[in-house]
Amino acid sequence: MSLTSTYFIIFMLILIPVYYLVPKKVQWCVLLAASLIFYCFGGWTNLFYVIFTSLTAFASTVIMDKLSDEQKAYLKENKESLTKEQKKSYKEAVKKKRKAYMLAAVILNIALLCFFKFLTPVNSILEAKSFNTLNVIIPLGISYYTLQTVGYIVDVYWNNVKAEKNYFKVLLFVSFFPQVTQGPISDFKQLSAELFTEHELTYKNYSWGFQRLIWGFFKKMVIANLMLPYVKDLFENYNTYSGLTLFIGIFVVMVQLYADFSGYMDIVCGACEMLGIRLAENFNRPFFSKSLSEFWRRWHITLGAWFKKYVFFTVATSRFANSLSVKVKNKFGTDAGEKAVSTVALLAIWFSIGVWHSVNLPFILWGLLNGIIMIISVWLEPVYATVKNKLHINDKSKVWKLFQMARTFTLVSALEVFSDAGALKDGTGYLLQIFKSAMNVPKSFTQIFPYVENKTYFVMIFVGLLFIFIISLINRKKNVRFYFNKLPMIIRAIILVGLVCANFAFGMTEMMRNGGDFLYAQF
Amino acid sequence: MHSFKKCLVSLLVFCLILSTFSAVIIYIFLNTESAPYQDIVLRNKLAGTIDTLLLGSSEGQVAFKSTLIDEELGVKSYNLCGSACPPSGIKALLEEEIDRNPLKTVIIDIGSFLHYDYTDSVSEGEIKVIPRLSNNSKKLKYMFENVWINNYSYLYATYMNNGISTLKNLIFGSYIPVVTGKTEMNLITTDEEAAVKDLSLNNTEILKNYVQDKTTDEKDFFGKIELKNYELLKEMIKMCKSRNIQVVLVFIPATESRIWTNGNFETEKEFYYSFAKDYNCIYLDFNLMKEKGKYLSDKTSFKDHFHLSESGSKVFTKCLCNVLIKIRSGEDISDMFYDSYDEAIKHFEYYEIYQSMLKEQN
């Protein structure tokens, strides 16, 4: 079920009253039923994979918890009779068992994810060799809920959270409908506190949620969808455009992606807010970032946080990293030792992120390039500090901050071209064409913005982006909805009606023509 | 309770403003100078005088020149064809006119009738039909029976957009009225549009694609017939027969390159001949018209593979009228048409070129 379809609107219109009318103790059951219905819209066979993932998570976490509880009970009972070594070896044995269950569950789920990730390239090879391809449909949202579930399993292993003893609550955690297609990738502790708490209908939740939902639709249906044909055209025909058009195009691509993905986030967060549930945020004004690492702490926040918690720290605290750190420390000093560990961990994390997006060269290269640039920044930090000192650059000045933002935005947008172009040669071709056609000066406004034939659409995009920028500035101090809700109800209603009409007037036609799929749903 | 009341009030205020605004805009579209509204007004004005009705989709809308038909045949015709008009819409429009006019002939553009695909549709055709129905209850009934619930947002968006366009036209005085006395919908096709690149047979790459795409699978035709459409066609013919109205099924000519590519035309022709015989109606396939290439050249008479250009439609309409005059006077028209597509193709303007390309490919 697409979030921008009539079915979703009807779905929410039914869900919200039912959710608040049922006894509060069973509100989560309503969410579970709604999530399963939502998921079945994409084909009931998809449910098999969600159930498999939730079952493996449930079984492994319950067993790990049971082993922990047994250990505690045994050690308490035999506190006086066991020696220190006996206690240690007993604990090691239990830890080993717990690790085995954890690894089994994680490997099973990651293997399933890898199977689907590798399905497309394998099918391409089979097709090229005239064999029958594997006719398997990739389950909806598997990349997202697998990571979320693996995080839960590992958190139980690390004793960060107690295992949930009710299988259906685990199933809800895995399949919760607003986030199953594109995240956010939630922590069990945080999400379960929201899902399994009793919720009262409050005017603030309802109105703020509704406003955010409408705003999300506007970002996706009007801004992102209207920009999409331009973005597609740029990649398909980059050979025909001037360097300036292509250079501006890299920013347009990035902004379009932001409008699409953050629009989705606003829709799901708004829908959840109306149910009294707070989801983790995935965006925090990313284009105001002053460095690449800051950007990835503000863009797709939950993905970065997941990889940092479960990949970065795992690699950084591994035996290999420790021995590397010691070797480098002995040779080049403590600082170098720490940076060597960060280097390895960053490479691992960014390679994984690239592969998570897609098992093809452009995405892997995109991931590695991001990692390499961050690694270089880590190693050259003292050099930057020296240069800034020598040039008397005040890094607290507004000009310097603006420069950093512009630099980061350009870098991120240029790197994004690799992943968005679809093929490596197209990504590199696009970037090279900027320089090849640099002398090809556009003679008119429409040559710079080829899609401006429809002036109304261009104005709509411009106005929409201006709104996003202004709202981002306001959000620095306080949530813009705080100010919005101070307006009289009639004015708020008129503004929201205007947004709804704009969604239909501009967004619906483009959606029907070019498809309304969210870009991050492809992962 | 206080929160609930406040939520309810704010929701009601929002819905009230949205529905009021939407109602005003959609009213403007449905009840002021938009093309569908003008069509309704004109039909109401002409009610009781129309004796020849032209039905179908965009091919017919472009191809049938009703003013020419009136002159040549001495009738009073009305072109009720519409862009993407689905069979259900064609039947609904026929039902509107059949009882309030002294109809003697109904001419149906049959080309895409049986193949209209409901599953692949955003209900675009149905959405276009609704404003052409004359009263609100008919509009609502048609909407609930034929537009999928998932397409209601598209329907709303379409009517809002059309309403705003109509409002702009009213404010800036730029609307194009349906010309009184002439019954064509305001669809303009020009000779320039006919010079579409892929109709030009100088492009050998495109010709090669046509040769490669040639299909001969009979199932390709029968597999695509929608049973619902077949039933609708039978119901329409029955409706006409019960009122002694002659039904003429017309296959509007397509380009040679389209016919060449698709090997199912012969199967389709045989199907319609047999159907017309069973249901006592006339079937005219103008792709089989002798010297079609001379009168309706790909290069000048078509704006795309299925739609005639302005000049092409005038020529076609005259040909249609000639045939109908001969039928009316009891003459044999078989010498005006080839018996089969194989025979017709041999007389195509570009037959030799296609043959040489086939040989090259093989």
pLDDT in tens, B161-209: 888 888 888 888 766 655 543 444 434 444 444 444 455 444 555 555 5
The lowest-confidence range among A145-159, A349-363, B18-32, B119-133 is: B119-133
Which spans in B130-251 are helix H? 136-146, 152-172, 191-194, 204-212, 219-222, 227-241
Tell if the CB–CB gap between B18 and A500 is shorter than 8 Å: yes
Instruction: Give the separation between CA B333 and CA B324, rounded to whole angstroms.
Output: 9
Does A497 contact B17 at a Cβ distance shorter than 8 Å?
yes
Task: Give how far A476 is from chain B: nearest CA, Å.
Answer: 28
The answer to whether residue A146 neighbours chain B at the CB level (below 8 Å) is no
B222 near A CB under 8 A: no
pTM: 0.83
Q: Which residue of A has its CA nearest to B162?
A: A505
Distance between CA B90 and CA B236 in Å, rounded?
Answer: 9
User: What's the CA gap between A115 and A71, in Å, rounded?
Assistant: 36
Decide which of A218 and B295 is more confident: A218
A6 and B149 within 8 Å at the Cβ level: the answer is yes
- pLDDT, position A520: 64
A496 touches chain B (CB under 8 A): yes
* Confidence at residue B192, expressed as pLDDT on a 0 to 100 scale: 47
User: Taking a contact as any Cβ pair under 8 Å apart, which residues of chain B between 104 and 123 contact chain A?
Assistant: 122
- Cβ within 8 Å, pair A505-B10: no
pLDDT reported for residue A516: 58
Cα distance from A105 to chain B (closest Cα, Å)? Answer: 39
pLDDT given for residue B182 in this prediction: 42
Residue B107: name the closest of B80, B128, B86 by CA: B80
Per-residue tens of pLDDT for chain A, all 523 residues:
778 788 888 899 999 999 999 999 999 999 999 999 998 887 777 788 899 999 999 999 999 999 999 998 988 888 888 888 888 888 899 999 999 999 999 999 999 998 888 877 777 777 777 776 667 777 778 889 999 999 999 999 999 999 999 999 999 999 999 988 888 999 999 999 999 999 999 999 999 999 999 999 999 988 888 888 888 888 888 888 888 888 888 898 899 999 999 999 999 999 999 999 999 999 999 999 999 999 999 999 999 999 999 998 888 888 888 888 888 888 888 788 888 888 888 998 999 898 888 888 888 888 999 999 999 988 888 888 888 888 887 778 888 889 999 999 999 998 888 777 766 677 788 888 888 887 777 777 777 776 656 777 788 888 888 989 888 888 888 888 888 989 999 999 999 999 998 888 887 766 666 555 666 666 6
Nearest CB to B10: which of A200, A489, A501? A489
Task: Kindly report the nearest CA distance between residue B88 and chain A, in angstroms.
Answer: 22
Nearest CA in chain B to A11: B150
pLDDT at B213 over 60: no
Position A452 scores a pLDDT of 59
* Alpha-carbon distance B159 to nearest alpha carbon in chain A (angstroms): 9
What letter represents residue A366's amino acid? W
Q: Is residue B236 scored above 50 in pLDDT?
A: yes
Which residues from B are below 8 Å from A200, CB to CB? 3
Q: How far apart are CA A305 and CA A78, in angstroms?
A: 41
Of B14, B18, B157, the CB nearest to A505: B157
Whether the CB of A501 is below 8 Å from some CB of chain B: the reply is yes
Please give the residue of chain B at the shortest CA–CA distance from A20: B4
Q: Which chain B positions have a beta carbon within 8 Å of A490's beta carbon? A: 13, 17
> Which residues on A lie below 8 Å from B164 (Cβ)?
505
Residue B150 touches partner A, C-beta closer than 8 Å: yes
pLDDT averaged over every residue in chain B: 82
pLDDT at B284: 94
Q: What is the pLDDT of residue B12?
A: 92
How many contacts does A have with B, using Cβ atoms within 8 A?
66
Q: Is A494 on the interface with B (CB under 8 A)?
A: yes
Residue A211 CB neighbours (<10 A): 21
Q: How far apart are CA A69 and CA A63, in angstroms?
A: 10
Q: Which residues contact B150 (CB under 8 A, 6 or more apart)?
A: A5, A6, A7
Among A501, A503, A509, pick the best mutation site for testing chain B contact (most B Cβ within 10 A): A501
Alpha-carbon span A209 to A269, nearest angstrom = 7
**pLDDT the model gives residue B200:** 47
- Is residue B21 within 8 angstroms of chain A, CB to CB? yes
Cα separation, A224 vs B174, in Å, equals 32
Task: In whole angstroms, give the CA distance from residue B35 to residue A428.
Answer: 50
Integer angstrom CA distances of residue A346 from A331, A334, A374: 21, 18, 8
Q: Is B167 on the interface with A (CB under 8 A)?
A: no
The H or E element spanning position B52 is strand B52-55
Residue pair B107/B248 in contact (Cβ under 8 Å)? The answer is: yes
Name the pairing type of β-strands B105-109 and B77-79: unpaired
Q: Region B43-54: what's the mean pLDDT?
A: 92
Distance CA(B271)–CA(B265), nearest Å, equals: 10
In residues, how long is chain B?
362
